Chains A and B, each alone.
Chain A
Amino acid sequence: LAKTTQPISMDSYEGQEVNITCSHNNIATNDYITWYQQFPSQGPRFIIQGYKTKVTNEVASLFIPADRKSSTLSLPRVSLSDTAVYYCLVALGGGYNKLIFGAGTRLAVHP
């Protein structure tokens, strides 16, 4: 049974790079991995998506090793406003009913 696992919480300081890893077994070659950010009393917001190697956009990078058993969200130079909960999502087999969210990682950024 597919499952995604993330650390429950992480702490960091302003200006540091933060890496959050999501472990996901049983994913296929073309299964996408997506990361979302959620602030209190708001819905999750899309950050980045990929299915192999490395993807970078203006706010984050996503690293996916060759074995695809995990993925790492990298946030460069975090600020206080990056304090939020981060979720990984795997879409297994491209199927709607195989959308598997991790339980979320609560990131606290300190001054």
Chain B
Amino acid sequence: NAGVTQTPKFQVLKTGQSMTLQCAQDMNHNSMYWYRQDPGMGLRLIYYSASEGTTDKGEVPNGYNVSRLNKREFSLRLESAAPSQTSVYFCASSDGPDQPQHFGDGTRLSIL
């Protein structure tokens, strides 16, 4: 049982390049999330999808877009990468905001 799968695991971009981070879950969860993790700041919510067909902004959405492709997949896009977006990105899924979240192992993104 794979749980939450994120691709790629590592990526280096140049400033201004675009990229899409992929996430898929096999637990039939309704809700999916994208977080970024920076040293000393814990995890901050970028976007979430409460259910298939809906997406909403979290705490730090600027510079990102998302797509809930179907119930399993939730992608995060950086249209024009900036050095401030260098971070580790985590995707998670759950049955709702009060339910335990299951996380992928992250994408480590460096923007030069």
Contact = CB atoms under 8 A, between A and B. Distances in A.
A69 interface: no
B6 to A, nearest CB: 8
B73 interface: no
Contacts of A44: 43, 90, 101, 103
A111 interface: no
A14 to B, nearest CB: 27
A47 to B, nearest CB: 9
Contacts, number: 59
A96 B32 CA distance: 10
Nearest to A35: B100
Nearest to A47: B100
Contacts of A81: none
A55 interface: no
Interface residues of A toward B: which range? 20 to 34
Interface in B40-77: 40-45, 48, 50, 56-59
Q: Main SS of the interface on chain A?
A: mixed
A109 B25 CA distance: 33
A101 B103 contact: no
A45 interface: yes
Contact of A101 (B44, B50, B104): B44
A71 interface: no
Given A42-B105, A43-B92, A46-B100, A97 B56 contact: yes
Given A43-B4, A91-B97, A91-B98, A97 B103 contact: no
Query: Top 8 A-B pairs ranked by shortest CB distance?
Result: A43-B103, A101-B42, A46-B100, A103-B42, A101-B43, A96-B97, A32-B98, A96-B48
15 contacts: A34-B101, A36-B103, A42-B106, A43-B4, A45-B103, A46-B102, A87-B42, A95-B97, A96-B33, A96-B45, A96-B97, A97-B58, A98-B97, A99-B58, A103-B40
Interface of A: 32, 34, 36, 41-46, 49, 87, 91, 94-99, 101-104
